[in-house]
Amino acid sequence: MNIIDLRSDTVTKPTPEMREAMAEAEVGDDVYGDDPTVNRLEALAAEKVGKEASVFVPSGTMGNLIALLVHCQRGDEAIVGNKSHIYLNEAGGMSALGGIQPNPVTNQKDGALALADLRAAIRTEDVHHPITRLICLENTQNACGGVPLSVEYTRQVGQLARENRLSFHLDGARIFNAAGAQNVDVKELVAPADSVMFCLSKGLASPVGSMLAGTKKFIARARHFRKMLGGGMRQAGILAAAGIVSLEKMTLRVAEDHRRAQALAVGLRHIAGIVLDENTPQTNMVYFNLAGQIPFDEKAVVEKMAKYNIQVDWADARRFRLVTHYEIDDAAVERTIMAFEEVLG
């Protein structure tokens, strides 16, 4: 029986089409700007998100860190969600490597940072205060349930940032899921932000890599920091070739993952030991808690599911996140529901 892996969309292996494109990729030394495939990917990514330029980076974490380093000086403050990936899951890079102080604002249930909270978080001019320089949003907001933020809300935050002369960075690791779920062009979701990072290596199935996009000037600075952080890669066209397939093909099929996440939730809703989050899923993530009567903990559930060749991961005590992706087909959804029925029914 094949293994069903619902731990994350990062587990996706490159598609056969990617493997072929990688094998045949024209390459050169990208640090010299000589890799035609990387250049093609960077032009395509910028075009897709409607920004002037973009740069290929090894990971989303490095892409976000570079954006923070370009936008902020040491001692500056960046406003981030208290459930954001930047704040929780990037090893404190902004403070350790950038000397940037995070100012965490509560993520609302819908993933947003309340406009009033953002206004209150902006420091006034005072010799005692750090200088607020940047607002960061995350779309989709992973820890709030993989929830998408709207174009309207993103515009409001953009407006607020401009009024206060702040920069605005979007952690769009799954921005194509956010766009797909709301039936909007990704350009619209990204337009209010000065910079955006998105991952090729998650639902878009590339083996490695993320893109950081912004103005030409911003990306020129970003290239310095990428080199400084050790992210200047050489014949990276091998990887970029997969990224091009991600952008041209895999972005078109996110709705399938969302539909299967819906089907999974419909099946799990009837299982006595499972308490689904309200309004889950909105994209490719299903979040639920173990019901009070389940006598064992999340780690035991992981072990029990493994016996069915199903890999799941807990998100917190007695809490789970299941993520659909292109390797999860309808049969995998059915098998997962049946296994959970036996383990938690």
Ligand X SMILES: *Cc1c(COP(=O)(O)O)cnc(C)c1O
**Are the CB atoms for 226 and 55 separated by under 8 Å?**
yes
Task: Determine if 83 is a binding residue for ligand X (CB under 6 A).
Answer: no
Task: Determine if 282 is a binding residue for ligand X (CB under 6 A).
Answer: no
317: exposed, middle or buried (C-beta count within 10 Å: 0-12, 13-18, 19+)?
Answer: exposed
Task: Determine if 213 is a binding residue for ligand X (CB under 6 A).
Answer: no
Q: What are the structure tokens assigned to 308, written together?
A: 């069915």
Task: Determine if 258 is a binding residue for ligand X (CB under 6 A).
Answer: no
Residue with nearest beta carbon to ligand X: 60
212 vs 310 by CB, closer to ligand X: 212
- Interface residue with ligand X, options 154, 195, 201, 324 (CB under 6 A): 201
CB atoms within 10 A of CB 1: 7
91 vs 220 by CB, closer to ligand X: 91
- Interface residue with ligand X, options 46, 66, 136, 199 (CB under 6 A): 199
Q: Binding pattern to ligand X, positions 121-160, x when CB under 6 A?
A: -----------------x---x------------------
- 3-class DSSP state for residue 203? coil
String of DSSP letters for 284-303: SEEEEEE-TT--S-HHHHHH
- The residue range among 56-64, 117-125, 225-233, 301-309 that interacts with ligand X, by the rule CB under 6 A, is 56-64
Task: Determine if 21 is a binding residue for ligand X (CB under 6 A).
Answer: no
Backbone torsions φ then ψ of 157, nearest 5 degrees: -70, -40
Q: What are the structure tokens assigned to 229, written together?
A: 């952080």
CB atoms within 10 A of CB 140: 25
88: exposed, middle or buried (C-beta count within 10 Å: 0-12, 13-18, 19+)?
Answer: middle
- Interface residue with ligand X, options 12, 54, 61, 195 (CB under 6 A): 61
- Interface residue with ligand X, options 173, 186, 240, 271 (CB under 6 A): 173
Applying CB under 6 A, which residues contact ligand X? 59-61, 64, 85, 138, 142, 171, 173, 199, 201, 210
